[in-house]
Structure 1
Amino acid sequence: MAWKKNILETIGNTPMIQLNKVVKDFPCTVLAKVDYFNPGNSIKDRMALKMVEDAEADGRLKPGGTIVEGTSGNTGMGLALAACVKGYKCIFVTTDKQSKEKADILKAVGAEVIVCPTNVMPEDPRSYYSVAKRLATEIPNSVYMNQYDNLSNRQAHYESTGPEIWEQTEGKITHLVCTAGTGGTIVGTAKYLKEKNPNIQIWAIDVYGSLLTKYFRTGEVDMNEVHPYISEGFGEDFVPQNYDMSVIDHFEQVTDKDGAVQARRLAREEGLFCGYSAGSCFQGLLQLKDRLKKDDLVVCIFHHGSRYVGKVYNDQWMMERGFLDVKTFKDIVSGRSRQRLITVHPSDTVAAAVALMQQYDIENIPVMENDRNIGSLSEQGLFNKIFSDPDLKNQSVEFVMEHPYPEVSYDTPVERLSSLITRENGAVLSKDEAGSYHIVTKYDVINSLAK
């Protein structure tokens, strides 16, 4: 019989999955090292366990001790899993820009979470770095893991991530693409791969607002590069000791918006429910694809999107930040040829309404009186009524009209319009800035979503 003795034995040996739709115009093969198959849903499980085991081995972490760490969420999850199995307490210090889901998940596995302000310098006593260090000095029998400067971080990836990628690609990997945060993943993995083949290109993906890219290019720590950014899980406002820039060949910066949009795209087109850093990793590769050749084999490292359900995968959150290009009623009207709205008066005959439908090849007509939307006519509804009573076509519209079409604001998103248009209700009305009515039908919505 085969089973794992505890959850920690499931860390590592994650699958390599080929990307297809999102790289259809690439000249080469692109693979994703999908490390959200780790129990904590990220690659950080590897180094979290390594840091704990090394701390146990050298006596820093004793039975009944407390693990203290500053974390954006994923490292905390890995440490919390190790603490659950090994019997330690956890206190994690994070920033107020991290998703609520991250803090909730850490609490669910028994950790205490302290939230600190994001927009302060690392040396500020309020920063999550400073608070974590202080707590470790104040709490008896505690250890500050310090993933940024703890070299067990990169050693974990030298021992596991690098060898797995090499074996899974049979040594054919030509490029490793990875977001840059603490430096542990990219440097540890790169060191192993470069020892196997020094020609392998290592591309680090950074975010605008981080100083790592300029430091890589110039060796200068320029705090003028640092400004607030929304992306989570990578980018830094200092240079962690885990970095060895000699094993990295290129740094590429991406925007907050592009990273979020590409994360959603990976979920929609590849079925990979990825997080912010994975979306940013792929965006960086998109920006660099012209450097790739036919026989290249690219490996990207991806994490899970469960921590971003309330952010990247929330339409409202995306729209509030201008990350989601939402089509609206106005966009539909602006994108078609300009023509006046065809309407009928309640005193017009049904025959006149049918003639208008035939003349303009339309199925829906609003019934208007004194610029008020008081009813509607549909081709299907009229057909059914006239079929059962042919003399009806000589009667006034007011005797056969249906409920008026719903009215919405001119900037209503297309997704909302689609929920208002039903079998019984074939269109929606809205007034533009000048007060003129416009109509959007189900066919307009279908055409807009197809573009």
Structure 2
Amino acid sequence: MDIKNNILETIGNTPLIRLNRITKELPCTVAAKVDYFNPGNSIKDRMAIKMIEVAEAEGKLKPGGTIIEGTSGNTGMGLALGAIVKGYQCIFVTTDKQSKEKADVLKAMGAEVIVCPTNVEPEDPQSYYSVAARLSKEIPNSYHMNQYDNLANRLAHYETTGPEIWKQTDGKITHLVCTAGTGGTITGTAMYLKEQNPGIKVWAVDAYGSLLTKYFNTGEIDMNEVYPYFSEGFGEDFIPRNYDMSIIDAFTQVTDKEGAIMARKLAKEEGLFCGYSAGSCLKGLMQLKDSLKKDDLVVCIFHDHGSRYVAKIYNDQWMMERGFLEVKTFRDIISGRPVGNKLISVESNQTVGAAVELMRKYDIEMIPVLKDGEIIGSISESGLFQKIFSNPDLKHEVIGNLLEPAFPIVNFNTSLEKLKSFLTRENGAVMSRDEAGNYHIITKYDVLQALGG
């Protein structure tokens, strides 16, 4: 029988999967090392368990102790799995830019999660680096794993990820592409692979707002390079000890938007539901594609699962709010709204006062008027203001007696460019009906927002 003794024995030996559609324009073979097949859904399971094992061997982590770590979520998951099996407690410190799902998962695994601000210097007492270090000093029988400077991080990939890739490619790998964060994955994997074949090229993918790329190119730590970004799990505002820049051949930076769009493309075109870093990794490869030849075999490391990003890059509204999702039609704008967001309307037999109250409650300036489920006109704040100011008793008047023209009705797939022609000084909204027969409304503000203005 093949029965694993515990969940930790399922870590590693993840599949290498050929990419077919997105990379068809490239002259070579591209394969993804898909590490969301690990039990914690990320490559961080490997190094998390290795850090625990090394800490135990060195006597730094004792029975019944508490594991403390600053983590974006994935390392915490791996540590939580190890803690459950080995009998430790966990306290994880993360940042407020990380997806809520990551923190919720860690709590589900029995860990305590402390959220710190993102936009502070690493040395700031509020930073998640500083808070984790402080807690390890204050809590008895605790150990701060410190994945950034703990060399067991890169050792895990030297011992497992590198050998697996070498074996799975029969030693034919020519390029390794990986996002760069703590440095453990890219450094440890590259160390092993370059021992087997020094000619293998190692390409690191970084985020704009991270200082790693400039440090690689110049050897300078330039804090002017550091600014907030949405990408998760890679990029840094300092240089972790796990890096050995001498074994990396090139760095390229990918924007938040490009990484998010590519992740969504991976899901739709390759069936790989991956996280932010996978999209960025593949986009980084595409930026360096001119260096590739026919017989090359490129391996991209896809770190984690898309379930950690459902409320972010896989959420149309989140993407649209940040200008990451291209809006082309009336339908696109509506799909970016929260599910269940219904049309605010009034019936023709309601009072003007009721309409005014709705405008105040929902902070809107115009409302369509319906009769027997059909649009017969509209009513607007600007149209009512002077009338009510002159005659306050109009609040009790029936709306049907004060109707303004109905908003234009367009097809649900009308293009954004055509929508603009309907929105004039006199007309501030356009309406449409979806396949289920439900009315929707788009205002000038919605179109301006969709255009990035």
Change beyond 3 A, Cα 1:170–1:331: closer
Separation in structure 1 between the aligned mates of residue 331 and residue 101 of structure 2, nearest angstrom:
35
1:69 maps to 69
SS at match of 2:205: strand
Structure 1 residue ranges without an equivalent (≥5): 333-371, 376-405, 418-427, 444-451
Q: Is residue 330–residue 415 contact of structure 2 (8 Å, CA) maintained in 1?
A: no
Q: CA deviation at 1:304?
A: 1.0
Change in CA separation of 1:160 and 1:331 when aligned onto 2, cut-off 3 Å: closer
**Larger Rg over CA atoms:** 1
| Map of 2:125 onto structure 1 | 125
TM-score with structure 1 setting the length: 0.76
Offset of residue 409 of structure 1: 8.5
The answer to whether the 8 Å contact 1:327/1:413 transfers is no
Q: Shift in Å at residue 306 of structure 1? A: 1.0
Whichever residue aligns with residue 316 of structure 1, its letter is: Q
1:325–1:57 CA distance, 2 compared to 1 (3 A) = same
Spell out the pairing of 1:67-216 with structure 2 (5 A cutoff).
Answer: 67-216=67-216
Q: Percent identity?
A: 75
Contiguous gaps of at least 5 residues in structure 2: 334-373, 378-405, 436-453
Can you list the C-alpha shifts for 1:337-367, whole angstroms capped at 9, x where unaligned? Answer: xxxxxxxxxxxxxxxxxxxxxxxxxxxxxxx
For the 8 Å contact 1:154–1:187, the answer to whether it is kept is yes
Does residue 291 in structure 1 map to residue 282 in structure 2? no
Equivalent pair of 2:408/2:431 in contact (CA under 8 Å): no
Alpha-carbon distance between aligned partners in 2 of 1:192 and 1:92, rounded to the nearest angstrom: 30
Matches within 5 A, 1:296-311: 296-302=296-302, 303-311=304-312
Q: For 1:152-180, what per-residue CA distance to the aligned partner results, in whole angstroms no more than 9, with x for missing partners?
A: 00000000000000000000000000000
The answer on whether the counterparts of 2:205 and 2:252 sit within 8 Å (CA) in structure 1 is yes
Which whole-Å CA distance do the structure 2 matches of 1:331 and 1:98 have between them? 26
Deviation at 1:434, TM superposition (A): 5.4
Residues matched between the structures, number: 363
Aligned to 1:350: none
Which residue type is aligned with residue 423 of structure 2?
D
Assess if the C-alpha contact under 8 Å between 1:116 and 1:127 holds in 2. yes
Counting only pairs closer than 5 Å after superposition, residues 26-425 of structure 1 correspond to structure 2 as 26-302=26-302, 303-329=304-330, 414=413
Shift of 1:329: 3.4
SS of structure 1 residue aligned to 2:185: helix
State the distance in 2 between where 1:86 and 1:272 align: 32
Letter in 2 for 1:82: G
* Cα root mean square deviation, aligned: 2.8
Q: Work out the CA distance in 2 between the residues paired with 1:56 and 1:17.
A: 35
Q: Does 1:433 align with 2:424?
A: yes
Q: TM-score, normalised by structure 2?
A: 0.76
Moved over 3 A (4+): 329-332, 372-375, 406-410, 412-417, 434-443
**2: distance between equivalents of 1:331 and 1:242?**
44
Deviations 1:360-406 (A, max 9, x none): xxxxxxxxxxxx9769xxxxxxxxxxxxxxxxxxxxxxxxxxxxxx9
Evaluate the alpha carbon distance shift between residue 413 and residue 267 of structure 1 in structure 2; reply closer, same or farther with a 3 A threshold. farther
Summarize the Cα distance change of 1:144–1:442 in structure 2 as closer, same or farther, 3 Å threshold: closer
CA contact (8 A) 1:326 1:413 kept: no
2: distance between equivalents of 1:306 and 1:414? 30
Give distance in 1, aligned partners of 2:181 and 2:131: 19
Tell me if structure 1 keeps the 8 A contact 2:205–2:254. yes
Task: Return the alpha-carbon distance in structure 1 between the equivalents of residues 409 and 76 of structure 2.
Answer: 45
The 3 A distance-change label for structure 1 pair 413 and 85 is farther
SS at match of 1:298: strand
In 2, Cα distance between equivalents of 1:211 and 1:289: 23
